[in-house]
């Protein structure tokens, strides 16, 4: 008897014949489990449903397998969080400066790219700020960030302080959509019931962050003039 040919990937596995040998019964092929597949599924859940929904049970359900099957690859939820954090870290955008681009513009371009990247993954800022899951993948973005700051004339020590300040600014804006001190007086009619002045178009996402970012960069660039 000639053996059955291998089916294309993604198709059902070899057909199983019924007891009478008349009609084939298709068998469903389960997805192959791996740490990469688990990580990709976990990141999708975190992005679409929130980090609170990220559990081993939820990942197993998404992959169409039992929770016990995941234990061959991952031990607990903390390890799952570490995996998605590392996966995010190695995906951070790195923006290379354009030829003759002013250092301040190169720094701004890098951190604006970081803002928009992390805003697309709303869970990321909270996980990073909590600091429970350190990612080795951040090494490349750290080195790039320090290189940009040194190119702006900062010493090694000041570049490191500047890098940390930029991170704090980034996380602060992402964690606080409406920061403490947000001006709400223009959200209501002024005293006397006079109509509210017409507003201009809404600011694009990240506009407030960019405003603060550029001023922080300008301040960092003048660090050598500060009294120490």
- Note whether 69 and 35 are within 8 A (CB): no
Q: Is the overall model pTM greater than 0.85, yes or no? A: no
Q: Give the angle subtended at the CA of 208 by the CAs of 204 and 211, to the nearest 5°.
A: 115
Asked which of 12-16, 42-46, 185-189 is least confident by mean pLDDT, the reply is 12-16
Residue 32, C-beta contacts closer than 8 angstroms, at least 6 positions apart = none
Q: What are phi and psi of 24, to 5 degrees?
A: -70, 145
d(CA 94, CA 97): 10
pLDDT in tens, 117-166: 999 998 888 888 887 666 665 678 999 999 999 999 999 999 999 999 99
Give the model's pLDDT for residue 139.
73
Give the model's pLDDT for residue 221.
76
């Amino acid at each position: 008897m000639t053996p059955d040919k291998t089916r294309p990937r993604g198709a059902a596995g070899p057909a199983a014949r019924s007891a009478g040998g008349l009609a084939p019964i298709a068998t469903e092929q389960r997805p192959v489990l791996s740490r990469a597949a688990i990580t990709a599924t976990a990141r999708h859940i975190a992005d679409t449903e929130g980090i609170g929904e990220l559990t081993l049970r939820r990942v197993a359900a998404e992959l169409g397998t039992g929770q016990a099957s995941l234990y061959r690859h991952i031990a607990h939820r903390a390890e799952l969080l570490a995996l998605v954090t590392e996966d995010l870290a190695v995906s951070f955008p790195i923006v290379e400066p354009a030829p003759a681009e002013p250092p301040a513009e190169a720094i701004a371009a890098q951190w604006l790219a970081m803002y928009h990247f992390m805003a697309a993954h709303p869970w990321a800022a909270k996980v990073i700020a909590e600091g429970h899951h350190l990612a080795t993948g951040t090494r490349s973005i750290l080195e790039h960030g320090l290189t940009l700051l040194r190119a702006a004339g900062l010493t090694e020590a000041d570049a490191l302080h500047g890098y940390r300040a930029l991170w704090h600014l980034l996380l602060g804006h992402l964690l606080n959509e409406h920061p403490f001190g947000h001006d709400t007086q223009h959200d209501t009619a002024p005293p006397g019931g006079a109509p509210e002045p017409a507003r201009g178009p809404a600011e694009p996402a990240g506009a407030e962050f960019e405003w603060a970012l550029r001023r922080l960069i300008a301040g960092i660039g003048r660090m050598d003039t500060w009294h120490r």
